[in-house]
């Protein structure tokens, strides 16, 4: 049986699927290893504490539209900031 590390457990907790055969090896590892099982449960608990906050922060807010000097309501740039992204690197 292959060994899995904390990153593998995190990936399974975040993206794993009980019905997907792709995750069979790690599911078997978690079931057969008590330390891995405890660590997996801890990771899963921490993920559920973090994920709702992120969703609440990103979604559900009305989008604020700020009109710029050129009249484009979707442009959030103040007047005079029409520089291209690469101008930062070129020093323009």
- Domain of 35 in residue numbering reads as 4-48
**Predicted confidence (pLDDT) at residue 38 exceeds the cutoff of 90:** yes
Residue 12 within a domain:
yes
Give the total number of structural domains in the chain: 1
**Predicted confidence (pLDDT) at residue 19 exceeds the cutoff of 50:** yes
Distances (CA, A) of 30 to 13, 25, 64, 79: 11, 9, 46, 56
Give the pLDDT band (50/70/90) at residue 2.
Answer: confident
Give the pLDDT band (50/70/90) at residue 86.
Answer: confident
For residue 3, what are the contacts with CB-CB under 8 A and spacing of at least 6?
29
Q: Are 16 and 43 in contact (CB under 8 A)?
A: no
Residue 14 within a domain:
yes
For the segment 44-71, the average pLDDT, to the nearest whole number, is 60
Residue 23 within a domain:
yes
**Exposed e or buried b per residue across 44-78, where buried means at least 16 C-beta atoms within 10 angstroms of its C-beta:** beeeeeeeeeeeeeeeeeeeeeeebeeeeeebeee
Give the pLDDT band (50/70/90) at residue 88.
Answer: confident
Residue 82 within a domain:
no
pLDDT of residue 54: 47
**Predicted confidence (pLDDT) at residue 31 exceeds the cutoff of 90:** yes
């Amino acid at each position: 049986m292959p060994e899995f590390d904390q990153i593998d457990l995190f990936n399974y907790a975040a993206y794993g699927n009980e019905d997907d055969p792709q995750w069979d090896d790690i599911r078997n590892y978690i079931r057969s290893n008590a330390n891995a099982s405890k660590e997996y449960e801890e990771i899963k608990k921490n993920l559920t504490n973090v994920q709702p906050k992120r969703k609440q922060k990103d979604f559900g807010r009305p989008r604020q539209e700020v009109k710029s000097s050129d009249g484009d309501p979707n442009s959030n740039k103040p007047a005079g900031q029409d520089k291209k992204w690469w101008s930062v690197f070129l020093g323009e």
